[in-house]
Structure 1
Amino acid sequence: MRKLVYYVAVTLDGFIAAEDGTFDGFVFEGDHMTGINAEYPDTLPTQFREALGLQDAPNRHFDTVLMGRHTYQVPGGLASPYAHLRQFVVSSTVTGTPADVEVIRSDVAGRVAALKEEDGLDIWLCGGGKLAAALLPQIDALLVKIHPVTFGRGIPLFDGKAGITKFRRTDARLFESGVSFMTFERN
């Protein structure tokens, strides 16, 4: 069975984006970029993969991406940001997506359960915080890039009612850039 993996950048104070949905405060240069991009080329937007010469890099961990509406419609975003993955957007309002982006309008938990039963690589929960809170019972692992910055306010890692859920740390990598990359698996 495939896993649902919440792979996301977060600030020291627990936010995945500023209140307006931007994430300019994150560290985009440094040794963590090389290390993480080499291990997770599948999580780079298609246009960045091409710019970095990784367009032919195989998907190592994920073949499917699941995004909330705000993550999909991030300012300056692309209509098909992860064309190298099977793309799903959870929204009741998004329209006009390209053919390779499927919109899930209802029974999100049921659709995710069905996706987990399919053969293939894991499913990347790309964001956002509300979707992560709603799907917390189905999240099998967290891959968290902790950036050495605070936003003060913004979109929380889990935005909404989420019950206590215990995970165990299975890996930790510290980079000179100040970014920590932590892996947690559900207990």
Structure 2
Amino acid sequence: MRELVYYVAVSLDGYIAGPGGEFDAFPVEGDHMAAQIKLFPEAIPTVAADAMGINQIKATFDTVVMGWNPYAVGLPAGMTSPYQHLQQVVFSRNRTEEDIPGEHPNLELTHEDPVEVVRRLKSEPGKSIWLCGGGQLATQLSGEIDRLVLKRSPLLFGNGIPLFAPGAYQPSSFEEVSTTAFGSGVVISEYVRRRA
């Protein structure tokens, strides 16, 4: 069965974005970048990967799920299908296709229950499913997350969008399987869910 992998950058104080959804404080230069590109080339927006000559081989992910806010980050720049090399599922309770200008290949906007959608995706053949964010969606899908890959940056945001939003979810135990510290100060840690 396919895994749901929550792969995300996070500050030392547990935020994946600032109060207004800002994420540009996360370092995009340094020795950690080569490791990220090697591990998860599919998690780079298609346009950026093309410009950098990165082959997005779908070694790990062939699908990405995200909330409206992470998706909408690229809209002002005309990026209506940020990961068009993947199947993209965007969850929103109140947005419609009319809120997406122009063409958006390989992208589905849905009002469906995220848990039901992810369970359906997991039952289908394919590679792992990348949970891109945000915190509200991560909370809704907390019981479905099989693996966490956290890119901890040496930053404090003080406020913003948390890794997991407050909500009703059961305590879960994860086991650390790897941690790599980079000269840039970024630490990438991977955890797998402990199964009963």
The normalised TM-score by structure 1 is 0.95
Q: How does 1:5-154 map to 2 (within 5 A)?
A: 5-54=5-54, 56-74=55-73, 76=76, 78-96=79-97, 97=100, 98-154=104-160
Query: Where does structure 1 differ by over 4 angstroms across 4 or more consecutive aligned residues?
Result: none
Tell me how large the CA RMSD over aligned residues is: 1.2
Report the AA paired with residue 37 of structure 2. Answer: N
Is residue 133–residue 159 contact of structure 1 (8 Å, CA) maintained in 2?
A: yes
Is residue 134–residue 160 contact of structure 1 (8 Å, CA) maintained in 2?
A: no
Residues 48-98 of structure 1: CA distance to partner in whole angstroms, max 9, x if unpaired? 1011101x3311100000010101011545100001000000012222342
CA distance in 1, matches of 2:160, 2:147: 23
Percent identity of equivalent pairs: 43
CA distance in 2, matches of 1:115, 1:8: 20
Gaps of 5+ in 1: none
Is residue 13–residue 151 contact of structure 1 (8 Å, CA) maintained in 2?
A: yes
Report the AA paired with residue 58 of structure 2. Answer: N
CA distance in 2, matches of 1:106, 1:123: 17
Gaps of 5+ in 2: none
CA distance in 1, matches of 2:96, 2:14: 31
Q: Name which of structure 1's ranges 149-158 and 161-170 shifts more when overlaid on structure 2.
A: 161-170
The normalised TM-score by structure 2 is 0.91
- Count matched residues: 186
Q: Name which of structure 1's ranges 88-97 and 119-128 shifts more when overlaid on structure 2.
A: 88-97
What secondary structure, in the 3-state scheme, does the structure 2 residue paired with 1:181 have? strand
CA distance in 2, matches of 1:99, 1:30: 32
What secondary structure, in the 3-state scheme, does the structure 1 residue paired with 2:171 have? coil
Q: CA deviation at 1:99?
A: 4.6
Residues 131-152 of structure 1: CA distance to partner in whole angstroms, max 9, x if unpaired? 0001000000000000000000
Q: Is 1:164 the equivalent of 2:171? A: yes
Is residue 180–residue 188 contact of structure 2 (8 Å, CA) maintained in 1?
A: yes
Q: CA deviation at 1:163?
A: 2.7
CA distance in 1, matches of 2:56, 2:23: 26
